[in-house]
Structure 1
Amino acid sequence: MTPIRFPATDGFELAGTLYGDAAGARAAVLIAPAMGVPQSYYADFARWLAERGHLVLSFDYRGMGASRPPEHARSLRGFEADIHTWAEQDAAGALAWLRAQAPEAAPLHWVGHSLGGQIFGLLPNRELVARAVTVGSGSGYWRENAPKLRRMVWWMWYVLVPLALPLAGYFPGKRLKKVGDLPRGVMAQWRRWCLSPHYMMGEGGAALRRHYAELGTPMLSLSFTDDEFMSQRNIESLHGFYAGAPKAMKRIAPADVGARRIGHFGFFRLQHQPALWTEVDDWLRPSPLI
């Protein structure tokens, strides 16, 4: 486990953590975080993958976690970034850096949690990825959200965010106890996406829809019946964008794996290693995919 710094494609310095031994790695895995979730949340899962022969990189998007510049430690006012920045520059830079560290023969894989699964199609260097796994990744369209969230999230999109962004200059999620601090551009774009029945395609249009549909990377989707954010419809909507990708869709109930709860964040908790993490390791091994 080694803390590292590496450049995004535009040169912005990002913070990451590298797990495992590059010399002996049979594959490399990039973990792309969910919205507002620091890379440290994935440490147990990354360490476990490394123990099984993977070279693993986790990272923080710019403005988040250890990639938040010191001058913006108190406030993200004036910090410029949107979700395209996180995908096309930060995640793409992480992917390129990891490819350079891994043995030439080692395939490179993507594990995206929530937002991390949504943005895979945006990457300009996505062809580097041999196999992809999405965990709890779905469209964020609010009218398709899980019932509990749907009853509350309208307040966030129609009241809280429109007030907070101009007043604070960013989304002060830590103070509001919602998601976490986010750059203004990220939250504004996410709001636009979540208010559209077509999510990111509402803004990206036919060109972006074609771009996603052309992706052919084999993909495993893991979703959970007790996810408090993503409904089955959200999951299906997002993966419908990846129309050209061979997909295995696995929807898991806690009772299926002897658990009381999994939810939107539970997959990465150490307690679920025996029953759930092996799904990812098995998928990433060189064997028939679907």
Structure 2
Amino acid sequence: MATPHFDHITITCNNRQTLSAHVFKPEGTIKGAVMIAPATGIKQQFYANFATYLQQNGFAVITFDNSGIGQSLKGSIKNSKANLQSWGEQDMPAVLEQLQKTFPNTHYHLIGHSAGGQLVGLMHNATQLSSLFNFACSSGKLTNMRLAYQVKAHFFMNGVIPVSNALFGHTKSQWFGMGEPLPIGVAKQWQKWCNAQGYVKSAFGNTVFQHFYNELVMPSLWINASDDDIANNDNVADMLSVFPKLNAQTLHLTPSEYNLKDIGHMKFFSKRSAALWPLALDWLNKHSI
């Protein structure tokens, strides 16, 4: 695997928040341009090797840290106003606009990991995407999980999050192997939406007064793994129910079929799972013609 090579840029959102982003520009003709939308609390460095793979195969890529995460955190996390909704309404549209500005006149794709795919319907410019490729994107509904994992999920969502928010003014998710510390608004919505059906759908008419889930019709591929307790088949179906017109295909991966020990919720993007990456490349090639 080649060493990742990228340019660091700053993206300004409509709400004046700035995001740290990395641009991976391929040599020669560009086949298409991709924004990799991260999972909750996951820094863009996690996707660098995967982005390099796409770059080496002719695709331009932008990775980014959401507001309040990683290099996009400005000042104390206790002062961050970010929430899941602002990630979808502000951060992600700004990244797509930057992608279009940097790489004009091509096809644009979103590769979403967990929240990165869930929030696409909040983007005012989402219809400008040629395709969606989502991994581990589901509603994350707690009651759809197997009982043993459901107990752990309830403990984190309904115990750790409110207690940590009360004690520290943010969620110390890093103490539980759940990525970066989360701004209080992100953690509160995460807790609320995962306790409901349809994830973001529970906020329609409450905090979300305009969305574009009903307008998205582009081709999409939703991949989950058999050893993922969060994005199981029931939760993928629950999330897909929020996209009534989407042209959606699903693919269920079994690690042993790719000579992998595990995939779970996170490891598709790990370089140890590079055997899975042609699934994304083939998809992008197919939808960039």
TM-score (normalizing by structure 1): 0.91
Question: In the alignment, which residue of structure 2 is the partner of 1:121?
Answer: 121
* Of 35-44 and 170-179, the range deviating more from structure 2: 170-179
CA distance in 2, matches of 1:102, 1:114: 25
CA distance in 2, matches of 1:175, 1:271: 24
CA distance in 1, matches of 2:119, 2:199: 12
CA distance in 1, matches of 2:38, 2:65: 7
Question: In the alignment, which residue of structure 2 is the partner of 1:31?
Answer: 36
Question: In the alignment, which residue of structure 1 is the partner of 2:3?
Answer: none
State the 1:77 CA deviation.
Answer: 1.1
CA distance in 2, matches of 1:198, 1:27: 31
State the 1:68 CA deviation.
Answer: 1.1
Question: In the alignment, which residue of structure 2 is the partner of 1:236?
Answer: 237
State the 1:255 CA deviation.
Answer: 1.7
Alignment of 1:264-275 (within 5 A): 264-273=265-274, 275=275
Q: Letter of the aligned partner of 1:79 in structure 2?
A: S
State the 1:177 CA deviation.
Answer: 4.6
Question: In the alignment, which residue of structure 2 is the partner of 1:173?
Answer: 173
Question: Percent of aligned pairs with the same residue?
Answer: 27
Equivalent pairs counted in the alignment come to 283
Q: Would you say 1:3 and 2:8 are equivalent positions?
A: yes
Let me know the Cα RMSD of the aligned residues. 2.2
Question: In the alignment, which residue of structure 1 is the partner of 2:104?
Answer: 103
- Structure 1 residues 34 and 288: alpha-carbon distance in aligned structure 2, compared to 1, 3 A threshold: closer
What secondary structure sits across from 2:228 in the alignment?
coil
* Of 19-28 and 7-16, the range deviating more from structure 2: 19-28
State the 1:261 CA deviation.
Answer: 1.0
State the 1:23 CA deviation.
Answer: 6.8
CA distance in 1, matches of 2:82, 2:177: 21
Deviations 1:199-247 (A, max 9, x none): 2212215987984132112101111001132221111111122221111
Q: Would you say 1:42 and 2:47 are equivalent positions?
A: yes
CA distance in 1, matches of 2:97, 2:249: 26
The answer to whether the 8 Å contact 2:127/2:215 transfers is: no
Q: Would you say 1:245 and 2:246 are equivalent positions?
A: yes
Deviations 1:161-219 (A, max 9, x none): 22221221111223455443111111111111111123221221598798413211210
What secondary structure sits across from 1:58 in the alignment?
strand
Q: Which runs of 5 or more structure 1 residues have no equivalent in the other structure?
A: none
The answer to whether the 8 Å contact 2:70/2:180 transfers is: no
CA distance in 1, matches of 2:87, 2:224: 23
Alignment of 1:63-102 (within 5 A): 63-69=68-74, 71-72=75-76, 76-102=77-103
- Structure 1 residues 251 and 147: alpha-carbon distance in aligned structure 2, compared to 1, 3 A threshold: farther
Q: Which runs of 5 or more structure 2 residues have no equivalent in the other structure?
A: 1-5
CA distance in 2, matches of 1:164, 1:147: 24
State the 1:152 CA deviation.
Answer: 1.1
CA distance in 2, matches of 1:47, 1:68: 24
The answer to whether the 8 Å contact 2:43/2:180 transfers is: no
Q: Letter of the aligned partner of 2:47 in structure 1?
A: Y
* Of 193-202 and 215-224, the range deviating more from structure 2: 193-202
Q: Letter of the aligned partner of 2:229 in structure 1?
A: E
CA distance in 2, matches of 1:133, 1:92: 17
What secondary structure sits across from 2:241 in the alignment?
helix
Question: In the alignment, which residue of structure 2 is the partner of 1:198?
Answer: 198
CA distance in 2, matches of 1:250, 1:233: 13
Question: In the alignment, which residue of structure 2 is the partner of 1:57?
Answer: 62
What secondary structure sits across from 2:88 in the alignment?
helix
Q: Letter of the aligned partner of 2:70 in structure 1?
A: G
State the 1:34 CA deviation.
Answer: 0.2
- Structure 1 residues 250 and 209: alpha-carbon distance in aligned structure 2, compared to 1, 3 A threshold: farther
- Structure 1 residues 221 and 178: alpha-carbon distance in aligned structure 2, compared to 1, 3 A threshold: closer
- Structure 1 residues 56 and 287: alpha-carbon distance in aligned structure 2, compared to 1, 3 A threshold: closer
The answer to whether the 8 Å contact 1:82/1:187 transfers is: yes
Deviations 1:34-73 (A, max 9, x none): 011100000000000001111100000011011111x22x
The answer to whether the 8 Å contact 2:198/2:241 transfers is: no
Deviations 1:121-172 (A, max 9, x none): 1111102200110001100211113444212121223322222212211112
